[in-house]
Amino acid sequence: MNERAALRSNFPPDSMRGLTRRAEWASLGIPASELSKPKVAIVNASNDLAACYAHLDDIVPVLKEHLREAGALPFEIRTSVASDFITSVGKAGRYILPTRDLMVQDIEVVVEGAQLDAMICLSSCDKTTPAHLMAAGRLNVPTIIVPCGYQHSGLADHGGADIEDVFLNSSFHAYSGTSQSEMERMADEAILGPGVCSGLATANSMHIVAEVLGMAVAGAAPVRATSDRMWDSVRRSAYALVEAIHRDIRPRDVITGSSIRNAVVTMLAIGGSINTIKHLQAIAIEAGVEVDVWELYRSLGREIPLIASVRPNGPALIEEFEDAGGAATIQRELLPYLDADAPTVTGDTIGERAATAPTADGTVIRSVADPFATTPSIVVVKGTLAEEGAVVKRPIPDPGPYVFTGPAKIFHTREEGIEAIANGTIREGDVIVLRGVGLVGGPGMGFVSALIFAITAAGLAGKVAMVTDGQFSGLANTGIVVGEVSPEAATGGTIGLLEDDDRIRIDLAEGRVDVLVDPETLAARPPFVPVAGAEIGGYLDVYRAAVQPLACGAVLCDRKGTPLCSRRDEDAHVKGAAR
């Protein structure tokens, strides 16, 4: 082991640190002969609240066994965690995104406080993988991500429903006339095992990101939870981590500008979750990589062919995508667009991994010469209404429309917008504007999917457009929905200056979203004032004061010396936080 890789967890055996650790660990049954070994944190986000985490506790003892066989001393640690379907109730879902950064702090406190030597992270639901990768970049100790797989669904089992069907149909329930008993049957049969949502939503997208970044073993994603392939990945990850410790391979050796770009290319090629934009930007910030992920998505969007069409973007099941080769085959087909020399945590390169992957089957995964589409599923737009960017999610293939111009109809809560749709106030040609629900205004970026579902249920999809500084589900939209507008209203963004009937133009072909109002007229308007509401309090108040803009990945606090974050408007952000 070279000098740089000397174990930071080891202290002289006659020192206070050495003796007190010996005392603590002797009480746990750890003999003194084990204390000089690399000390590995098994980062576990398990709880009893959701299927996403139901199998993680079963993985820990197996992982401990393999780590011990490989010569390491494992310690399980726990973190906070969120589930979009369970912990989204309190504070109208505002805890979901902020939990990502809370997990990063949890990991730092334990791993850095105890000076552990490495981490192996059991990644499951949407926010765990980005949190694990962010913590890896921040702490820069040898780390491997273990994607822990997706759930078996009723849709895959007998053609019934999956959790996305329950999510969507329950939102349409009031409009569709579906019976309560039918909805209950759908809910009871949707999830047939542990693991994350069984589509190419944020969880599976981020599992794939971990592999493409080089932070997971080859062939790790997507994978059926508790399958033989998952257990093989667990075993290989344990031995690979110990090898990474001895070879001193660290996250900042792997998470680079090239690997971030590779991940963006891959997400564009498969139509991954739009949430990968802010998560990849946050990972880059934490790893000290100076890259504008939003601009990468924007500039590469029309260069990268779409070679997969997986639910919720298209018809293929995630099981079919895995069986067709998953992330490994996607990388093989994308090699002309990737940096093949990008390193991985296992010491090989992305190109070397891709060379051993199966070729595309031409049905579920296509070649770049015969793609499903050449128009992007993830469209980053900019313009006078979103100077720093906004995002649109489209189906594969995309039937349009691509351009929409109409008068603004402004709302400040989902409920206001839904009521306006129900009473006929919203008419064909309108642009619904939901503002004041961003990172600071929310705080935490409120989920606005219920309003989008109401638009669809009322038969207005494609007939009206929507613009918001909030966030929405990764489900593809049949109309034009522009989300995550930045700067947001609460930090001085143009969206906060809009008035009813201001004309808005959205052009997806040009990648623009503009307000067709004279700039001097806009500048003369009074600043945005948040609508009075219930006090938030607690962690969300801390989050509101500390969160950085989407251009910085919505990380907490300034990352000093990072040019990307220094571009933000300090005064506007502070004013927004104070409100």
> From the candidates 80, 233, 473, 486, which is the catalytic residue?
473
Amino acid type, 55: H
What is the number of other CB atoms lying within 10 angstroms of the CB of residue 466? 28
| CA angle 138–337–314, rounded 5-degree value | 90
* Residue with token string 């603004």: 408
250: nearest Cα among 139, 146, 176: 139
Q: What is the 3-state secondary structure (H, E, C) of 258-283?
A: HHHHHHHHHHHHHCCCCHHHHHHHHH
Q: Which residues pair with 410 in a beta bridge?
A: 433
What is the number of other CB atoms lying within 10 angstroms of the CB of residue 227? 16
What is the number of other CB atoms lying within 10 angstroms of the CB of residue 2? 8
d(CA 239, CA 254): 18
**How many alpha carbons lie under 13 Å from residue 76 in its C-beta half-sphere?**
16
Q: What is the DSSP letter of 35?
A: T
Q: Is 179 a catalytic residue?
A: no
428 CB-contact burial (10 Å; exposed 0-12 / middle 13-18 / buried 19+): exposed
First and final CA of the chain: distance in angstroms?
53
Would you call 426 helix, strand, or coil by DSSP? coil
Q: List active site positions.
A: 473
